[in-house]
Chains A and B, each alone.
Chain A
Amino acid sequence: MSLWADLISENPMMIEVRRSRRRFFGGGPKGAAMIAVFVLGAIGYLGLLLLIGYASGAFSPLVIVMLQTGIIALAGPSLLNAAIAGEREKRTWDLLLVAPVTRAQILVGKFAGAMSNLLFCAVLFALPIFICASGFARTNLFALGLAEFNSLSFGLFVCGLSLFFSARCRRPFMALAISMGLLLTGLIIYPTLLGGLFGGDQLSGDVAMLLHPFHAQSKLFLLERDLSYAYGTPWDEGYIGISPVIFTMTQSLVFIGLAVVLLVWAERTLNWSDREVKFLPKAPHA
């Protein structure tokens, strides 16, 4: 069986896509909480549409993509913190392990379930992006496409990271805290600390922010001003720094690569039986 068939087309764990959709839209015992989340989300979404409609032409669509990236950074860990750790907590993990599915199939199924929700989120954002893009005078579709690609590849990375920690933790809350903590550090604390350090040095800033999606997406604003920056080099006149296109593409590919590495790492180190550890005798005292 090919890798594609094994992990995707004939992977029975792909039912996680349907299951995660059901979990969010199917009501159930946690229905009241989910309805509250949906109502708040809907209010926020309508507010965003009203704001864009009211200030038509004032917003670059890239701003909405950045907003989408922020939502992804929050949603990814929330969707995946319980993927494996939650199974352990509910004691259902063994039931999956005795099923005729491989560890890789389980992980890919869980990953696909979360990604389907993030894609749904991206589809929702398509409308405000479209409204902004049609009203904004300097819309650059190339930059917009790149930003969207970057945002989704960041989503892949966030899901990979969250799944990795979920596979390593016994408690979903612990997995959530670690993933959120790392993202908070990487996206807010780290750039804040570095901001003062590099000042106006674009090149050093670019290198330091290699994995910062907002940095990449903010560089794409340059393309809206002047397309000649697109393939510029750090030595181009007027712009000292890595070209927005090369920077964003590189970063996006790194995100995808990291997501794959984290998934493989999670699969390789997934504990088959947690309880086995408890039986290990303690080392005798010296």
Chain B
Amino acid sequence: MLEVANLRKDYGRLTAVQGIRFSLKPGDIFGFIGSNGAGKTTTIRMLATLLEPTSGTATLNGVDILKDPMAVRSMLGYMPDFFGLYDDVKVWEYLDFFATIYRVPARQRNETIDNVLELTDLTIKKHDYVQSLSRGMQQRLCLARCLVHDPDLLLLDEPASGLDPRARAELKELIAELGRMGKIVIVSSHILTELADFCNTVGIMERGELLAFGPVEAIIKGIKPSRTLIVHTLSDAREAAKLLADQRDVGAAEAESADLLHVEFNGDQESQAELLTHLVLAGHKVLSFREDQADLEDVFLKLTTGAVN
């Protein structure tokens, strides 16, 4: 369990993080969203015990990051935005080094290395030099390094930056797997659509402030309580709009063009189906009937102003 309480970081007169608070439970994959300079990396670095908060604190499994940073470090894996690798060593040597400094017992070390290599799909590269790996593989190796001591919390700062689509998809699947393994994963990213795919919780940050926090659907619903239905007909859209405007749960119905109409709708899925039935029974030829779903990008753009510290 990670609990962040009033975490704040000031640099002189500049406040990078303004007393944010949230909590995450095992299995949560938390997407940290924000523009450059919003305070995501500073927050992650404070949680990683690299930066001392100006005030506030966080606890991981009840251990305070300020009071016992050493104990916290052995429970977390941190992957910085620019992952550093020793290029003159082999993959297994790299992992062996970190397994040693994380005090993985010597007897278990080989097995642990094999396990994390298998999890990150790097087993065949075990004896290759790190610098010979592709960027995607190096990213996965960096993630493997975070896993050698079986941490409870993973802090991944922009893990998908610079990766090609295939490598991003593989990384996404890997992160989802880590969530299924019961780890708390905090991922910061600019690629919002990808975060929505595998994060069950998101936080939107701007100028050091956590503007929104919670499950993706709840946040979307929070900024847009009604849904918009888009109806494409082969008949007159204005007639269809008139017909729908009087129906239950319909806020407004407007014809956008001769064959397209937008319907503001507040009902549940059953009444949505009834609406379609009503339209068809009235003799309208419906080509498509779909919900215009707001996504994380819409939420992000609506909540933030683009201002940075």
Binding site for B on A (CB under 8 A): 12-13, 15, 19, 22-23, 28-30, 87, 90-102, 272-273, 276, 279-281
**Which of B12, B49, B84, B100 interacts with A15 by CB under 8 Å?**
B100
A29 to B101, CA, bound (A): 24
Partner of B83, one of A12, A91, A273: A91
CB distance from B141 to the nearest CB of A (A): 12
Known: A98-B50, A98-B76. A15 touches B97 (CB 8 A): yes
Residues 37-74 of B at the A interface (beta carbon under 8 Å): 42, 45, 48-51, 70-71, 73-74
* Pairwise interchain contact B88-A94, C-beta atoms closer than 8 A: no
The answer to whether B50 touches A273 (Cβ under 8 A) is yes
**Which residues 74-119 of B sit at the A interface, judged by CB distance below 8 A?**
74, 76, 78, 80, 82-90, 93, 97-98, 100-103
Given A94-B78, A98-B76, are A29 and B16 neighbors across the interface (CB < 8 Å)?
A: no
B148 to chain A, nearest CB (A): 10
B101 and A92: CB pair below 8 A? Answer: no
Q: Would you call B11 and A99 a contact (CB within 8 A)?
A: no
CA distance A280 to B45 in the complex (A): 16
Instruction: Report 20 cross-chain contacts, Cβ distance below 8 Å, ordered by A residue.
Output: A12-B103, A29-B88, A29-B129, A90-B85, A90-B87, A91-B82, A94-B84, A95-B78, A97-B50, A98-B50, A98-B78, A99-B102, A100-B70, A100-B71, A272-B50, A273-B50, A273-B51, A276-B51, A281-B11, A281-B13
**A30 and B88 form a contact (CB under 8 A):** yes
In contact, A98 and B48 (Cβ under 8 angstroms): yes
Q: How far is the CA of A280 from the CA of B13 in the complex (A)?
A: 9
| B203 to A: closest C-beta gap in Å | 21
Q: Is B14 an interface residue (CB 8 A)?
A: yes
Shortest beta-carbon distance, A250 to chain B, in Å?
Answer: 38
A15 near B101 (CB under 8 angstroms)?
Answer: yes
Are the C-beta atoms of B76 and A101 separated by less than 8 Å?
no
Enumerate chain A residues within 8 angstroms of B78, measured Cβ to Cβ. Answer: 94-95, 98
Tell me whether B101 and A281 are in contact (CB under 8 A).
no
B309 to chain A minimum Cβ distance, whole angstroms, is 9
**Who on chain B is nearest to A10 by CB?**
B103
B contact residues around A98 at 8 Å (CB):
48-50, 73, 76, 78
- Min CB distance A108 to B, Å, is 13
Question: Which of A19, A29, A100, A272 neighbours the largest number of chain B CB atoms within 10 Å of its CB?
Answer: A100
Contact with A along B1-31 (1 / 0, CB 8 A): 0000000000111101000000000000000
Q: B101–A99 contact, CB under 8 A?
A: yes
Residues A13 and B101 in contact, CB atoms below 8 Å apart: yes
> B84–A92 contact, CB under 8 A?
yes
- Closest CB-CB distance, B69 to chain A, in whole Å? 9
Contact status of A281 and B80, CB under 8 A, knowing A22-B89, A95-B145, A276-B51: no
Q: Is the C-beta of B131 less than 8 angstroms from some C-beta in chain A?
A: yes
A100 adjacent to B74 (CB under 8 Å):
yes
Residues on the B chain within 8 Å of A99, using CB: 73, 98, 101-102
Q: Is there contact, CB below 8 Å, between B102 and A29?
A: no
- 10 tightest CB-CB pairs across the interface, nearest first? A91-B84, A92-B84, A279-B11, A100-B73, A100-B74, A12-B101, A15-B100, A98-B78, A281-B12, A99-B101
